[in-house]
Amino acid sequence: MGSIDKYIFKTTLASFALVLVSLTGVIWITQALRGIDLMTSQGQTILTFLGITGLVIPALVLIIAPIALMIAISHTLNKLATDSEIIVMNAAGFSPFRLFYPFFYATCVVAALVAFIGAYLAPDGMRRIKQWDAEITADVLTNILQPGRFAQLDQNLTIRIRERLPGGVLGGIFVDDRRDPQERVTIVADHGTVLKNESGSYLVLEDGNLERFEVGKRDPALVAFQRYAFDMSKFSNQGRDVTLGIRERYLWELMSPSEDDPVYKQIPGQFRAELHDRFMAPIYPFAFAALTFAFLGAPRTTRQSRNFSIGGSVLAVFGLRMVGFACSVMTVKTPWAALVQYLMLFGGIGVGIWMIVGGVVVEPPPALMETINRNNERIARFFRRPVTA
C-alpha cells in the first residue's frame, strides 16, 4: 500500500476499533446487569461475575463488528470529504474504485476477525459460560438454599434454612421429604453443616427432631437426635453433565454433527440455520463496506449535502441485515431461505461494486429537493409573521 492507502487504512481500523469497543461495552453492560444475581444471591465474587459475563463478548462482537465497520467507513469518508481530500485525490487521478482499495483491505481484516470468532471464539466462550454456570449452580447446598426461603429441590423434597452463620453453619433447618410414597419424613434441626467426602455430600443436622409418618399407621414415629446425616449427593452433583446447545458448537461440529447426537436429532433445522449463519458472518462486512462506500465514496464539493447519501446507506445496510435475520429464521424450516440470503448478500456486494466502478453519485431527486425547499420556505414565512394585537 502507498502512503495514502496506509493513511486511510489506519484511520478506518482505528475508527472501527473505537466504535466496536464502545458499542460492545454498552451492550455488554446491559447484558451483565441481568446476571447481577450471580453475586447478590449466589455469593460469587466480582471476578467470577466479570469472568462469566465477559465470555459473552465474542458473541456480541460477531454481530456488532460489521455495523462498527460501516460506521468507521462512513466516518472516514466524511472526514476525507470535509477536508476536500476526496476531491483532491480524484483530481490527481484516483478513481472511486481505486480509492476503495484501503477500505477493502480493512474489510478483509474485519472479515478474518469475524470468521475466527464465529468458527471458534464465540462458541468456545458460550460453552465456557455454560460449564462455569453449571459448576456454580451444581452445589445446591451453597447456592440455592437461601435464608428464609423454601427451596424445592425435588418434586417432593423441600428444605428451608433460617440463617447462615459464620464458619459455614446453617441455622434453623427444616426438611420435608415425601419422595417415598410409603412414608413422609419431617426434620427440624437447630443447626447443621455441609460435609463432603468421597462418598458424596451430606447435610449433617444437629440437635433436632425427626418425625416419620408411615402409610397404614395411625401415629407418626418421633425421634430426637443429636446428630443426623441427610444424603444430598444427588443434588450436589447435578448440572455437571452439560448438554451443549447449537451456539456452543464449533464450526466443524456444525458441519459434521454426529448422527447419534440427541440435539441434532431433535432440531436438525436449527443446526442448518446456524451453520449458514457462521458461513455468512464474514460476508456481511464486505456487503456493508461496498454499500457504504457506494453511497458516500463519490467525490463531492463541500457545498453538496451528504445527508441523503448517509441516510440511504444506513437504510440499505439496515434492510440487508433485517432481511438476513428473517431468512435465518426461515432457514430452520425452509432450506431454500439460506440460498435467498446468499443471493441477497452477493447481490448487495455486486450492486455496490457496480456503483463504485460506475462512479454513481447518490443524490436526492430534484423534485424531492424542490418540495423540501418549498416546505422550508413556508415554515420560515410562518415564523416570520408579525404578531397581531
By CB atoms closer than 10 A (0-12, 13-18, 19+), residue 298 is buried
Q: How far apart are CA 314 and CA 320, in angstroms?
A: 10
Taking the chain, what is the end-to-end CA distance rounded to the nearest angstrom? 70
pLDDT digits (tens, 9 = 90+) for 24-56: 988 888 777 666 655 554 555 667 667 777 788
pLDDT digits (tens, 9 = 90+) for 100-138: 999 999 999 999 999 999 999 988 888 887 777 666 555
pLDDT reported for residue 342: 93
Q: How many CB atoms neighbour CB 321 within 10 A?
A: 17
Which residues 6+ apart lie within 8 Å of 109 measured at CB?
Answer: 13
pLDDT reported for residue 143: 58
- H-state helical runs in the chain: 3-34, 37-40, 46-54, 57-82, 85-91, 96-116, 122-138, 140-143, 233-236, 251-255, 262-266, 268-280, 283-296, 307-331, 336-358, 366-383
For 376, the grid coordinates are 422550508
- Is residue 146 predicted with pLDDT exceeding 80? no
> How high is the mean pLDDT of the chain?
82
- Is residue 385 predicted with pLDDT exceeding 70? no
Question: In 3D, which of 156, 59, 97 has the Cα closest to residue 290?
Answer: 97
For 7, the grid coordinates are 493513511
Among 206-210, 282-286, 296-300, the minimum mean pLDDT is found in 296-300
Edge-first strand order for the sheet with 157-165 is: 150-154, 157-165, 169-177, 183-197, 200-214, 221-231
* DSSP 8-state symbol, 92: T
pLDDT reported for residue 239: 45
Contact 99, 88 (CB under 8 A): no
pLDDT digits (tens, 9 = 90+) for 193-249: 877 777 777 788 999 999 988 887 878 888 898 998 887 766 655 445 567 778 888
Which residues 6+ apart lie within 8 Å of 9 measured at CB?
Answer: 1, 102, 105, 106
- Is residue 79 predicted with pLDDT exceeding 70? yes
